[in-house]
Amino acid sequence: MTKKKWTIEAGSPHPLGATWDGHGVNFALHSSVAEKVELCIFDAKGKETRLALPKRSYNTWHGYVPGIGPGTSYGFRVHGPYDPERGLRCNPHKLLLDPYARAVVGEMVWTPAHYAYDMDGEVQDLAFDDSDNAAHTLKGQVIDERFDWGDDRRPCIPPSDTVFYEAHVKGLTQLHPGIPPELRGRYAALAHPVMLDYFKKLGVTSVELLPVHAFLDDQRLTEAGMRNYWGYNSIGFFAPELRYGPARQGGVQAWDGGAVVNEFKGMVKALHAAGIEVILDVVYNHTAEGNHLGPTLSFKGIDNSTYYRLMPDNPRMYLDHTGCGNTLNTHNPVVLRLILDSLRYWVEQMHVDGFRFDLASALGRGADAFDQRSAFFAAIHQDPVLSRVKLIAEPWDIGLGGYQVGGFPTGWMEWNGRYRDAVRSFWKTDAGTLGDFSSRLCGSSDLFQHDGRSPSDSVNIITVHDGFTLHDLVSYNDKHNEANGEDNRDGESHNRSWNCGVEGPTDDPDVLALRERQKRNLLATLFLSQGTPLLLAGDERGHTQQGNNNVYCQDNELAWIDWTPGERADALTDFVRRLIAFRREQPTVGRSAFFNGQPGPEGYKDVTWLDRDAQEMQPEKWNDPHTHVVAALLCGRHTGELDKAARPITGDSVLLLINASPENQTFTLPEHRTPGWTCHFDTARDGGEPAQRDWQVGDACEVGARSMVVFTQPFDNA
């Protein structure tokens, strides 16, 4: 049999990456330092054919290969200077992954050949290494991007109506008994009817997925027999991670990247049909290549000084605002274009509805400090596609001045770490927390009321993937991360957690009851606060990680959600469902306008803070560091919302009786518009169901120790 001899033509510099046109594939790669670029095509047995890209247009190398198509695996070899002291790290012995690869396939087997330097050299990264890594590294794969989207429509949930549900593709579905075993842990599992029904019944509007961009298992973890579970180690910004797609058939070269892409698209289509948005957690602040001693897998070998921020006075070293060894150089238009092209691809081709940006402060840095007017923000805001989707920042990085909660531009939502800290501290009765707690409950106007921003820009979090689960937050005083193999040094030590008297598992019924009550208190606060709530998947079921607050490497039952039916789990899930439904029905909660605390035309304030005697709180009580008892009256006359005719919407007034103290407290129900109050929740009771629903103004309501009682009263305009 005669071996096929490929030919290569000049092709086009646009678009970057590998593009199939039905007859062949155009390849384009940007490198300002390359002297020559070879396209490397691999057959089904892994045999490599090298073709020099024949044309250079400015700094884009390109070529067109007739007769190849979807399923073709490929990479690049970049010939150029290797001079780390000048920030140059080209090494043609290293097969490099295309930054624009639509599918990333193969098996990453860690070997010294992945490093561009001789690891036995006197000064490690200065000594050139000529071993070849092609047999053991990841490769790009050409795909057919066509997909039948049918009548797919984006749900387009307004921020004020949004309830985020942060979930891990595998962790959420791997143990679910209602999902066929062959689908568990996959994109297809999220599209299974049992999960769609669960999301709808729970009431969440937007599933926020932990990273699904192609990522690597760190060498250290692999050698320790573990995996990178969370996925914050990106290597491909256009390709969905293979491990959540259909398993390959055959040998190592038999991955079908196109099937993975289509399964992801099918998941999005199914979630949209159920009215659920898909939000991706994206990691554009760093890559998996690490620092100067890290591997050369893609960007380093293509154009190191373009893609990464290097030390100005020592370009051998990397600026690290991320704690991961490197920081992508968003100052460079090539890198900025890469990020924007990636984001647009996921919106236009994959139909996702928004993004949560990991360590987003790193993306918005100027020469060093964070800058609201940086090129990154300016480019997104003027983009006709990206400016219309949900943009959510994790508003911090590890660099100087990196904590920027409330500091992002208009159009961005932000994870509110100050909300998390204030709510946790208040319910564990730390001294002097009432003022901060009340500000967070009202939408954090001190942080967000500027430049036309709204309460919904505050994404209120109590627990997220990084840290204790809700169950562990009320069950452990200290982290227990021994399983991670780092002598319990990893993970946050200051968790503002309280174990309710016993560290970890217990059979004590009083401790167990108190823990369930504290969960209800924290969840009720989350869903009754102004701002946008985010629920960590599994918290509604009491998921535990046994005190491990950093399960980034625990791809096992410790991190996967247990769906075994249980009285406590089912009761907590139903409590969350009722809270979300209550929030959706009450325009007074989840307002799009901040409270002003001023009386309206009829004399009612939009929010009034009361003591136990139904009198307005006085400064001495606000300033008492031991005050943990307060009532908040949200007036239904002032919802801040308008109907389609631009008329003010009137809703129920909502009364929150809050007692974080360790003793029962008696509240007098205040006078308001009508004489009656209806009780909806009492967190002191199992399941949060109140013992008595109908109450009158002036009644004495006993609120149990460490609990909250919630009332409504219709605001009658007659």
Sign of the Cα torsion 300, 305, 311, 315 reads positive
**Burial group, residue 367, by CB count within 10 angstroms (0-12, 13-18, 19+):** exposed
- Annotation says 451 is catalytic: no
How is residue 69 written in tokens? 């198509």
Do 311 and 392 form a contact (C-beta atoms < 8 A)? no
Peptide bond between residue 15 and the one before it cis (omega within 30 degrees of 0)? yes
**Burial group, residue 378, by CB count within 10 angstroms (0-12, 13-18, 19+):** middle
Residue with the larger pLDDT of the pair 45 and 49:
49
Q: How many CB atoms lie within 10 A of CB 675?
A: 12
Give tens-digit pLDDT for 127-181.
999 999 999 999 999 999 999 999 999 999 999 999 999 999 999 999 999 999 9
Residue 249 scores a pLDDT above 70 = no
How is residue 659 written in tokens? 């007692």
How is residue 608 written in tokens? 């009034």
Q: Which residues pair with 27 in a beta bridge?
A: 18, 63
Residue 718 scores a pLDDT above 50 = no
pLDDT band of 638, cuts 50, 70, 90: confident
Q: What is the largest CA-CA distance in the chain?
A: 94
> Can you tell me the mean pLDDT for 385-404?
95
> Can you tell me the mean pLDDT for 260-280?
98
Residue with tokens 């019924």: 509
At 366, is the secondary structure helix, strand, or coil? Answer: coil
Give the mean pLDDT of the chain.
Answer: 95
How is residue 141 written in tokens? 């794969």
Distance CA(215)–CA(287), nearest Å, equals 9
pLDDT band of 1, cuts 50, 70, 90: very low
Distance CA(465)–CA(488), nearest Å, equals 18
Give tens-digit pLDDT for 482-500.
999 999 999 999 999 999 9
Give me the pLDDT at residue 101, please: 98
Percent of the chain topping pLDDT 70: 98
Question: Which of 504, 417, 522 has the alpha carbon at shortest distance from 459?
Answer: 417
Q: Which of 48, 277, 394, 421 is catalytic?
A: 394
Q: How many CA atoms lie within 13 A of 165 on its CB side?
A: 25
Distance CA(317)–CA(309), nearest Å, equals 9
How is residue 630 written in tokens? 């307060």
Residue type, 223: E
Residue 698 scores a pLDDT above 80 = yes
How is residue 430 written in tokens? 């730390």
Residue type, 448: F
Residue 636 scores a pLDDT above 50 = yes
- Annotation says 358 is catalytic: yes
Do 184 and 174 form a contact (C-beta atoms < 8 A)? yes
Distance CA(87)–CA(62), nearest Å, equals 24
Question: Which of 708, 712, 275 has the alpha carbon at shortest distance from 526?
Answer: 708
Distance CA(1)–CA(524), nearest Å, equals 71
**Burial group, residue 219, by CB count within 10 angstroms (0-12, 13-18, 19+):** middle
Q: Are strands 310-311 and 314-318 parallel, antiparallel or unpaired?
A: antiparallel
Residue type, 531: G
Give me the pLDDT at residue 251, please: 53
Q: CB-based contacts of 294: which residues, under 8 Å, 6+ apart?
A: 115, 300, 325, 326
Q: How far is CA 618 from the centre of its chain?
A: 40
Give tens-digit pLDDT for 76-90.
999 999 999 999 999
Residue 402 scores a pLDDT above 70 = yes
Give me the pLDDT at residue 288, please: 98
How is residue 197 written in tokens? 């029904």
Give me the pLDDT at residue 717, please: 55
Residue 318 Cα distances to 292, 409, 590, angstroms? 7, 28, 43
Do 376 and 491 form a contact (C-beta atoms < 8 A)? no
Residue 2 scores a pLDDT above 80 = no
Q: How many CB atoms lie within 10 A of CB 662?
A: 10
How is residue 201 written in tokens? 């019944």
Opening angle at CA 540, ends 536 and 542, nearest 5: 100
Residue 326 scores a pLDDT above 60 = yes
Residue 644 scores a pLDDT above 80 = no
Residue 387 scores a pLDDT above 90 = yes
417-427 vs 434-441: helix crossing angle, rounded to 10: 130
Which secondary structure element, helix H or strand E, spans residue 268, and what is its range?
helix 257-273
Percent of the chain topping pLDDT 90: 91
The string of DSSP letters for 139-208 reads: EEE--------TT-------GGG--EEEE-HHHHHTT-TTS-TTTTTSHHHHTSHHHHHHHHHHT--EEE
Give tens-digit pLDDT for 209-244.
999 999 999 999 999 999 999 999 999 999 999 999
Do 359 and 322 form a contact (C-beta atoms < 8 A)? yes
Give me the pLDDT at residue 398, please: 92
The string of DSSP letters for 278-347 reads: EEEEE--S--TT-STTS--SSHHHHHHHHHB-EETTEEEEE--SSSSS--B-TTSHHHHHHHHHHHHHHH
Q: Are strands 458-460 and 532-536 parallel, antiparallel or unpaired?
A: parallel
Q: How far is CA 143 from the centre of its chain?
A: 27
How is residue 413 written in tokens? 């939502």
How is residue 344 written in tokens? 């647009």
Do 590 and 530 form a contact (C-beta atoms < 8 A)? yes
How is residue 505 written in tokens? 């598992």
Give me the pLDDT at residue 639, please: 77
Sign of the Cα torsion 155, 161, 166, 172 reads negative
pLDDT band of 646, cuts 50, 70, 90: confident
Q: How many CB atoms lie within 10 A of CB 194?
A: 14
pTM of the model: 0.97
Give me the pLDDT at residue 201, please: 98
Residue 464 scores a pLDDT above 60 = yes
Q: Which of 358, 430, 472, 555 is catalytic?
A: 358
| 95-104, 113-122, 578-587, 638-647: segment of lowest average pLDDT | 638-647
Q: What is the CA radius of gyration of the chain?
A: 28
